[in-house]
A and B are shown apart, each in its own frame.
Chain A
């Protein structure tokens, strides 16, 4: 089940909330939340819900005793279970086919043993949360094991289960501990509704609107002329942003209904001044996870070059099992390192040039998300206008108009700031109510052509 389904919005969510706030049953709220979250997840495949449950049990069993605090072996053991599951489901095909190049006994170019392995949605996200919990226990940040049900609430909480934000236990500790006594406040619910509506609209009206053009153009990567190729680069850049940002906003908004304040995941990333700044703004919860659980343990800035290359390569691999994702990660590593070397020059450029240059470079990087590795090179030739196979694919006024509209939304609409208007006068609240009502209704009408969230495949 996904947020952009009518069944979720009008059946699952209301039922989940009715059960949660049922008078007299507050003591069962943690169980209820875990139950509905597993239903939410299991509707996409019950076997995958078992993988999720197995990961939770594994980490629970190993981290329940305080012996795990400071015990590196037990922490590795706790982490290795979920990581092995991630490796099996996500990377076995990549390892066998692409890295080792094994062929099956018929001499086919692919090895078919893992062909039937289907990636559980969001496995990369909940695996990182499980590992974060285990490491935080090791570090003593979580003084005592929280128990199976609170751990399950933390991992399975359906608004953030499938595509983040990647939450640390300490960020939601208060909400989990006070679930049984939680009473929703009007302002928090209103803000939650506003954020969720913004998120849905950004996904359905902006990202999915662009997707109709991106899908057509990206189906012929080798034959696009330079204009269509650049259009594709920028349109996909906007699409993936609004797709993921929309999901994150919905997750944060829905979290408020249940008393959870999930952390921001996007801080105006396309206003970043440089590649380093970009990673402080894009998928923030992942950036901080990598910093805290990978970069700093590797030695941080002491071995800057090596560590940057490692963490960005792994960051790419986290996104997808393929060389194109690894190269995407290394591309960003080079950007970050390049910025470090050229910072005095870069920082002296006008602010708008810095933003434009960063956006351009980041957008180029998304090409590795869009195409298989083999197609990237020929697409690059198209971008440079050097491809002999390129044909003129018309980019219509409508397509430019849509991209321009998305750009305006990107740079001139700040959902968090608009939502803050709710704390001002009655007039603003009424206006916002009407505006978001119209936006919600419009988004609902377009749900039938909405696509699955891009980050679900990670």
Chain B
């Protein structure tokens, strides 16, 4: 009797928690658009922020331009990219992998809310990590798992070993999301409001995160990737997934590293060449990192892989400027 009651109580409480996580969170971006103040989302996990950005896009008419990627592009706002605030949205999430960007764009496309033109930041440095998508949540993510394991279009390049590794990575990612879910910080974030403020590191209405203004010009160093974790076959698979999204103009660009580090090491070079081959093979527009993205008078790089928002925004504006969005 005791054990049954104990287990039932725990199961009910866990089910309640899952229900809370399934309820759409409040939309801080819409609130920020109303009062012009930004919102701190520190307590939210990456999967929550992806969810909120998805919900925002779903509630909004289709954006002309969407920026996807990690913290390396998160600070680029509509003013940086010279776009009207209402027509641009930054879908990036700190720590978001290429695989997560693809999954988010696929979900948006399924909801007919994929931006007409999507700029997807490809993070060479981040390819040393598993980088499996943490969003959408289970059980929806099972579709991604199934497609990753089958991956018919990459049949020649993906051996059994790579698929077993991918299965293990999905289990690992699932466990990470379980751990994130069983925490008071995520629960608090989901049940509380994101209060308006004007601090740094908070999010504006366009989905971007404010960046501190001026970093001092300092020597910046970067530890090159120790390994390449994402098998080239899965890079090919992900590019194929993007190519299948016919309703959006997709530009995959390599996020720049600090000037002088672009061709730093053989692992980065091999990753870039594998990605470029896959990307162009699927007919996507693919842009490797430029040699320099910087401003001569500041703002300066905060570290070796996070370029200044204004400079990166100008670069991305040029990058996307020559391609007319589909009607």
Q: Which residues of A come within 8 Å of B, CB atoms?
A: 6, 11, 186, 189-190, 193-194, 197, 422, 426, 429-430, 432-434, 436-438, 440-441, 444-449
Contact = CB atoms under 8 A, between A and B. Distances in A.
Interface in B222-245: none
B13 A438 contact: yes
A197 B7 CA distance: 12
Interface of B: 1-10, 13-14, 175, 178-179, 182-185, 187
B231 to A, nearest CB: 26
B17 to A, nearest CB: 8
Most buried by A among B2, B3, B4, B10: B2
Nearest to B4: A433
Q: Which 5 A-B pairs have the closest CB atoms?
A: A437-B9, A433-B5, A433-B6, A429-B2, A448-B183
A441 B183 CA distance: 10
A432 B9 CA distance: 11
Contacts of B7: 437
B183 A437 contact: no
Contacts of B1: 426, 429-430, 433
Nearest to A438: B9
B201 to A, nearest CB: 21
A430 B5 contact: yes
Given A437-B13, A438-B13, A440-B10, A445 B183 contact: yes
Contact of A437 (B10, B178, B182, B185): B10
B6 A193 contact: yes
Contacts of A430: 1-2, 5
B182 A444 contact: yes
18 contacts: A11-B175, A190-B3, A430-B1, A430-B2, A430-B5, A432-B6, A434-B5, A437-B6, A437-B8, A437-B9, A437-B10, A440-B6, A441-B13, A444-B182, A445-B183, A445-B184, A445-B187, A448-B179
A421 to B, nearest CB: 9
A440 B8 CA distance: 12
Contacts of A11: 175
Contacts of A445: 182-184, 187
Given A433-B3, A436-B6, A447-B182, 10 more contacts: A6-B182, A193-B3, A422-B2, A426-B1, A434-B5, A441-B9, A441-B10, A444-B182, A448-B183, A448-B184
A194 B182 contact: no
A437 B14 CA distance: 11
Contacts of A433: 1-6, 8-9
Contacts of A422: 2
Nearest to A437: B9
A3 to B, nearest CB: 16
A396 B9 CA distance: 34
Given A434-B9, A440-B10, A448 B185 contact: yes
Contacts of A447: 182-183
Contacts of A197: 6
Nearest to A428: B2
Given A6-B179, A437-B13, A440-B10, A446 B5 contact: no
Contacts of A190: 2-3
Contacts of B184: 445-446, 448-449
Nearest to A432: B2
A378 B326 CA distance: 73
